[in-house]
């Protein structure tokens, strides 16, 4: 397929739609509650009483009557956070924050509001603040499991894994449920225990949550784990189960596309991803671009890479701080100096293993492989079996003049996930062949 003008326009349509959505939401900011009441607008959740829209509408009515109590504001802030989760739209964060601040102005020890503020800070990548709020919530409500979730998430991202493990063990002892099981799974995955991660995520999925989105989320993560260890059929089953309960759930569709790519059905993956890029989620545009690059469709891939870039910029403009994914993207497909700058920022803010991986890869791609290898090794310090981390470390070692180490890392990458990416896996294989 050659790229023609109409095709280019087609590619820009999703971006335009995204910007239009942002404007629509912004205009609604002035008229609270409108989006919940507008006829014909589908609600966010299947479950009527529990949908974020219903909760938002009734809680807005509750606070509109005026109250000295913190609870309705805390609950409203919380509902906005769920709304953000269901719509993938970070703009609901601002509303959440306003409501939560109202709650804390009424009761600065409201554990619900403190927990939600912590989760909000974590979502915005301000993990130090997330940890502070989480600790305050724990102090206000000792013996309650939820504040530990905020604390664990922050500690993991801050790279403080020992403390994170203790907090997480406490959380899962207090309340084994979807929330704590899913966190145990992630923690095991970070430590390279993929089978143990699958075991914990199965418990999370079996427990289920109060919204379909919760189930679809953990089921999709289960698929990702299966895919990461090369169990493509199991991964596909997990994604399809997520979709059977929560139709059109983007992360599960994205997972199916990656499973198709892993099964060497690139054209099916591309077809699926094309449907997904209509949504403002850069990871699917990136997956699409990399699948197209793998098929040798460079021109069309370039357009999708431009879309990823535009979406990243929109995110940053909406107040989110840079994340490791952005730095890795810049290192692979963008400006390598910018990648290093972004990655250093991410690393300084939160020195987690993914920040180390991003910085290591950015440095390696910018020609500073010796320093890059130091960070790449830090990314592996917990024992991660993430094929992408291992691939990055392998290339860093090669460029730093450590061929033996490079071979070992590349072999590990391809053992952990023989088809971990249609774009990177062939590169890993070629690099390994050269080294042999």
Closest C-alpha to 96, from 202, 111, 115: 115
Residues 6+ apart with CB under 8 A from 228: 189, 194, 385, 386, 387, 416, 417, 420
Q: What's the min distance (Å) between Cβ of 411 and another protein?
A: 22
Whether the Cβ atoms of residue 250 and residue 281 lie closer than 8 Å to each other: yes
Nearer to another protein, 7 or 87 (CB): 87
Nearer to another protein, 31 or 49 (CB): 49
| Contact between 112 and another protein per CB under 8 A | yes
Q: What's the min distance (Å) between Cβ of 123 and another protein?
A: 4
Q: What's the min distance (Å) between Cβ of 141 and another protein?
A: 4
Residues 6+ apart with CB under 8 A from 209: 178, 215, 217, 218
Q: Interface mask (CB under 8 A) for another protein, residues 63-82, using x and -? A: --------xx-xx--xx-xx
Query: How far apart (Å, rounded) are the C-alpha atoms in residues 329 and 304?
Result: 12
Q: What's the min distance (Å) between Cβ of 296 and another protein?
A: 26
Contacts of another protein in 293-312 (CB under 8 A)? none
Nearer to another protein, 119 or 232 (CB): 119
- The maximal CA–CA distance of the chain, rounded, in angstroms, is 73
C-alpha angle 322-315-375 in degrees, rounded to nearest 5: 20
Contacts of another protein in 243-272 (CB under 8 A)? 243-251
* Region binding another protein by CB under 8 A among candidate stretches 241-249, 260-268, 393-401, 405-413: 241-249
- Stated length of the chain: 436
| Contact between 99 and another protein per CB under 8 A | no
The 10 Å Cβ neighbour count of residue 310 is: 18
Nearer to another protein, 170 or 402 (CB): 170
| Contact between 183 and another protein per CB under 8 A | yes
What DSSP line would sit under 275-288, residue for residue?
Answer: HHTTSS-HHHHHHH
| Contact between 144 and another protein per CB under 8 A | yes
Binds another protein (CB under 8 A): choice among 119, 257, 340, 413: 119
Whether the Cβ atoms of residue 233 and residue 65 lie closer than 8 Å to each other: no
Q: Interface mask (CB under 8 A) for another protein, residues 11-30, using x and -? A: --------------------
C-alpha angle 5-11-13 in degrees, rounded to nearest 5: 110
| Contact between 162 and another protein per CB under 8 A | no
Nearer to another protein, 223 or 251 (CB): 251
Q: Interface mask (CB under 8 A) for another protein, residues 199-238, using x and -? A: xx-xxx-xxxxxxxxxx-xx--x---------------x-
The 10 Å Cβ neighbour count of residue 4 is: 9
Query: How far apart (Å, rounded) are the C-alpha atoms in residues 191 and 226?
Result: 16
Q: What's the min distance (Å) between Cβ of 258 and another protein?
A: 13
Contacts of another protein in 311-350 (CB under 8 A)? 315, 320, 323-325, 328
Contacts of another protein in 339-398 (CB under 8 A)? 352, 354, 358
Q: Interface mask (CB under 8 A) for another protein, residues 32-51, using x and -? A: ----------xxxxxxxxxx
Whether the Cβ atoms of residue 215 and residue 246 lie closer than 8 Å to each other: yes
Indicate the burial class of 283 (C-beta count within 10 angstroms; 0-12, 13-18, 19 or more). middle
Query: By CB under 8 A, how many residues form the interface with another protein?
Result: 119
Query: How far apart (Å, rounded) are the C-alpha atoms in residues 388 and 407?
Result: 15
* Region binding another protein by CB under 8 A among candidate stretches 194-202, 332-340, 370-378, 399-407: 194-202
């Amino acid at each position: 397929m050659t790229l023609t003008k109409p095709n280019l326009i087609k590619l820009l349509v999703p971006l335009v739609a995204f910007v239009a959505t942002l404007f629509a939401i912004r205009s609604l900011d002035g008229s609270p509650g409108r989006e919940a009441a507008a006829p014909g607008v589908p609600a966010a959740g299947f479950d009527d009483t529990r949908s974020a829209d219903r909760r938002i509408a009734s809680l807005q009515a509750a606070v509109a009557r005026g109250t000295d109590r913190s609870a309705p504001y805390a609950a409203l802030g919380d509902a906005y956070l769920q709304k953000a989760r269901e719509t993938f739209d970070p703009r609901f964060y601002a509303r959440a924050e306003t409501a939560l601040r109202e709650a804390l102005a009424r009761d600065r020890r409201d554990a619900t509001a403190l927990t939600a503020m912590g989760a909000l800070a974590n979502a915005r990548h301000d993990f130090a603040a997330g940890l502070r709020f989480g600790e305050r919530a724990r102090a206000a409500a000792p013996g309650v499991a939820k504040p530990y979730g905020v604390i664990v998430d922050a500690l993991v991202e801050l790279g403080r894994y020992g403390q994170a493990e203790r907090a997480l063990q406490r959380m899962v002892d207090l309340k084994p449920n979807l929330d704590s099981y899913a966190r145990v799974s992630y923690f095991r995955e970070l430590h390279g225990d993929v089978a143990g991660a699958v075991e914990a995520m199965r418990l999370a999925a079996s427990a289920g949550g109060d919204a379909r989105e919760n189930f679809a989320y953990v089921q999709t993560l289960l698929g990702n784990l299966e895919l990461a260890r090369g169990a493509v059929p199991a991964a596909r089953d997990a994604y399809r189960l997520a979709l059977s309960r929560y139709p059109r759930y983007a992360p599960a569709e994205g997972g199916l596309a990656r499973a198709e790519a892993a099964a060497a059905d690139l054209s099916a993956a591309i077809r699926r991803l094309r449907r997904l890029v209509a949504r403002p989620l850069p990871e699917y545009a990136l997956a699409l671009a990399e699948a197209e690059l793998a098929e040798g469709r460079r021109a069309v891939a370039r357009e999708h890479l431009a879309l990823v870039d535009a979406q990243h910029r929109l995110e940053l403009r909406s107040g989110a701080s840079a994340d490791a994914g952005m730095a890795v993207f810049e290192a692979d497909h963008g400006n390598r100096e910018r990648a290093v700058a972004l990655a250093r920022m991410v690393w300084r803010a939160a020195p987690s293993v993914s920040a180390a991986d991003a910085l290591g890869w950015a440095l390696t791609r910018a020609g500073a492989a010796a320093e890059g290898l130091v960070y790449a090794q830090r990314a592996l310090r917990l024992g991660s079996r993430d094929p992408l981390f291992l691939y990055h470390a392998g290339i860093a070692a090669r460029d730093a003049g450590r061929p033996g180490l490079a071979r070992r890392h590349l072999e590990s990458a391809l053992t952990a996930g023989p088809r971990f990416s249609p774009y990177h896996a062939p590169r890993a294989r070629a690099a390994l062949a050269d080294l042999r």
